[in-house]
A and B are shown apart, each in its own frame.
Chain A
């Protein structure tokens, strides 16, 4: 079974450039999450969607960040313009809404490592 698929796996870009990260959730999952991993703060929730609708974007750092989910099988996280402090690993995760988190029903992709020079 295909898991959560993220692309690109690695992205190196220069400050000021636009960055787009992509995610394909597991088929049948209707909740999608974007997390960012940094050394200082661990895994931070940026935004999550239920049934393609953004529910909580309070973790999005600032207006330079935006996320969309045009359909059930695709989501993007965009940073424009990018800055060196955005360098991190960005994870996408998905699950079926309502299934218990304590049984492990949240599945992560392999992450997109972003480096902004």
Chain B
């Protein structure tokens, strides 16, 4: 029972263009959503998050959009840079201090120079 799904295992974009990574969830109780970034041979690191009371959160080149009715969120990276090439994990949790993060399968982003 995969409660958080990332249906695209990979995405390739050109440097300078927009990267859009998508994530769907099934549990309507989730109220915080996070994106983690993972480079090869490293652990995942936190990138950006959004509360269910918002529909957008922006941090520099990274913006996360949340569509609660569709149970869908997306991460936009503009402009994309080769250093953004990594695996991106979407995650969801109940409450900000909850102990359980539920992750998706991950999407491998490749930004070509």
Residues of B within 8 A of A31 (CB): 99
Question: Cβ of B102 < 8 Å from any Cβ of A?
Answer: yes
- Neighbour of A100 across the interface among B96, B101, B102, B104, CB < 8 A: B96
Question: Cβ of A61 < 8 Å from any Cβ of B?
Answer: no
In the bound complex, what is the Cα–Cα distance between A63 and B9 (angstroms)?
31
Among residues of B, the one whose C-beta sits closest to the C-beta of A9 is B41
In the bound complex, what is the Cα–Cα distance between A41 and B1 (angstroms)?
10
- Minimum CB–CB distance from A82 to chain B (whole Å) comes to 22
Among residues of B, the one whose C-beta sits closest to the C-beta of A98 is B97
Question: Cβ of A48 < 8 Å from any Cβ of B?
Answer: yes
Pair B103/A43 contact, Cβ less than 8 Å: yes
Residues of B within 8 A of A91 (CB): 43-44
* Interface size, A (range): 20 to 34
Known: A4-B43, A101-B96, A104-B46. A45 touches B89 (CB 8 A): no
Residues of A within 8 A of B106 (CB): 37, 42-43
In the bound complex, what is the Cα–Cα distance between A68 and B97 (angstroms)?
23
- Minimum CB–CB distance from B108 to chain A (whole Å) comes to 10
SS class, residues of chain B in contact with chain A = loop
Pair A101/B43 contact, Cβ less than 8 Å: no
* Interface size, B (range): 20 to 34
Interface-lining segment among A14-22, A73-81, A105-113 = A105-113
In the bound complex, what is the Cα–Cα distance between A108 and B89 (angstroms)?
13
Pair B97/A42 contact, Cβ less than 8 Å: no
Question: Cβ of A27 < 8 Å from any Cβ of B?
Answer: no
Pair A93/B43 contact, Cβ less than 8 Å: yes
Q: Which residues of A contact B (CB under 8 A)?
A: 4, 31, 33, 35, 37, 39-45, 48, 50, 55-56, 91, 93, 97-111
Q: Which residues of B contact A (CB under 8 A)?
A: 2, 4, 6, 9, 32, 34, 41-46, 49-51, 89, 91, 93, 96-106
